[in-house]
Structure 1
């Protein structure tokens, strides 16, 4: 559906700003979020702000590209090539994108409670989320899931990283953690686990049982996405941890 109405012609309850206030930003469509940043559309008789948001996403998705992936690294000049986007709209959008990146990449403080995949992804994000190389890291936790620290284990290529189970478990023991979460990045943005990812997770689960230090989860992160292997595989049923 393309919006050609002005925002003022849309019922108040359906306007992006009002919908954000009522149901929260996470429940809005991407075009609606862009519309709030744009504030105005293309002018009288043309696309509304929401319509312009949809149009921008369509232009960015040419050649089957992910428009959000394109937006993350787009330049002002590239954005202004889209009809209806001038310097003011382009700089507003890019400022919001950069703020989002910085918020996601903020370093967690020691003592932060890591009690969900979302909290773990936020803790890992600075080391893993937006990297162009695969990286492997460990969140070191105490018995109450308070963060003791983050240990970067290895840095690989754009498509592969090497993580040795022995080195990972040694880091856990060396830092006195009583439980831990591992994570690695997929620079492509796909968070589907590979056969190697599954095999490594099995090794770590078995090793965690031997050292009596539970592996809480294994996360895959990339380009704003994350996936919990604990929540999406049966591995923790095969190798139960005392969590």
Structure 2
């Protein structure tokens, strides 16, 4: 007599174990994170619905608990899991750049702040305070402006530099409108 056994389709958890998280899609990562769906809403469908409702990863990054709980199958607990995972990922990513990062060129300074400033919706004027060997002592947002302007008084910048005993300062600002001005 032939015995028929049920072989489970390879799901996101199994794929993560076999191939690693970097081989999963965003939808699959969301499925693993949330673990299970709800009655009438399997996890694969729930993950797809979340990404469709939020219009992809940028919407997911910007989502609030209120945004998430408006999606059928997402209650406060699942919404908090998602928000916490995104914040944890953000912190892990940014904390790799500890104090002591060496700035040798304008590109080094840009690389140090680029990921953090890339998605900001307002202009931010950020200062990197360096020691005598051009290592970062600290980073501080000196001023937050509007969508297209950031006005900083030199007094604020110098006050922070003196307070940190900085030997030099690198000033950086973003262009959330996407428009770069000549000489900016």
Instruction: Identify the TM-score tier after normalising by the shorter chain.
Output: 0.5 to 0.7
Look up the SS of the partner of 1:9 in the other structure: coil
Report how many aligned residue pairs link the two structures.
171
Work out the CA distance in 2 between the residues paired with 1:9 and 1:57: 25
Look up the SS of the partner of 2:139 in the other structure: strand
1:48 to 1:114, Cα distance in 2 relative to 1, 3 A = farther
- Structure 1 residue aligned with 2:62: 72
RMSD over equivalenced CA pairs, Å: 4.3
Is the aligned partner of 1:175 residue 2:159?
A: no
1:69 to 1:55, Cα distance in 2 relative to 1, 3 A = closer
Work out the CA distance in 1 between the residues paired with 2:21 and 2:111: 19
Alignment of structure 1 residues 1-243 onto 2, 5 Å = 9-11=8-10, 15-21=11-17, 24-43=20-39, 48-61=42-55, 68-69=58-59, 71-75=61-65, 77-103=66-92, 109-113=98-102, 120-121=112-113, 125=116, 128=117, 133-141=122-130, 146-162=135-151, 175-177=166-168, 181-186=170-175, 192=178, 194-196=179-181, 199-200=183-184
Look up the SS of the partner of 2:183 in the other structure: helix
TM-score, normalising length: structure 2? 0.62
What is the Cα deviation at residue 28 of structure 1? 3.3
Which deviations, in whole Å up to 9, do the C-alpha atoms of 1:169-226 show, x marking residues without a partner?
A: 9x98x8323xx6543245x5x7x4x231x522xxxxxxxxxxxxxxxxxxxxxxxxxx
Which deviations, in whole Å up to 9, do the C-alpha atoms of 1:46-104 show, x marking residues without a partner?
A: 6642332111111222xxxx6533553422x4422312223432232222233334445
* Structure with greater Cα Rg: 2
What is the Cα deviation at residue 39 of structure 1? 0.7
Which deviations, in whole Å up to 9, do the C-alpha atoms of 1:118-162 show, x marking residues without a partner?
A: 96137x84xx57765321113244586531332544432233223
Work out the CA distance in 1 between the residues paired with 2:53 and 2:80: 18
What is the Cα deviation at residue 32 of structure 1? 1.6
Work out the CA distance in 2 between the residues paired with 1:119 and 1:113: 11
1:183 to 1:84, Cα distance in 2 relative to 1, 3 A = same
- Structure 2 residue aligned with 1:228: none
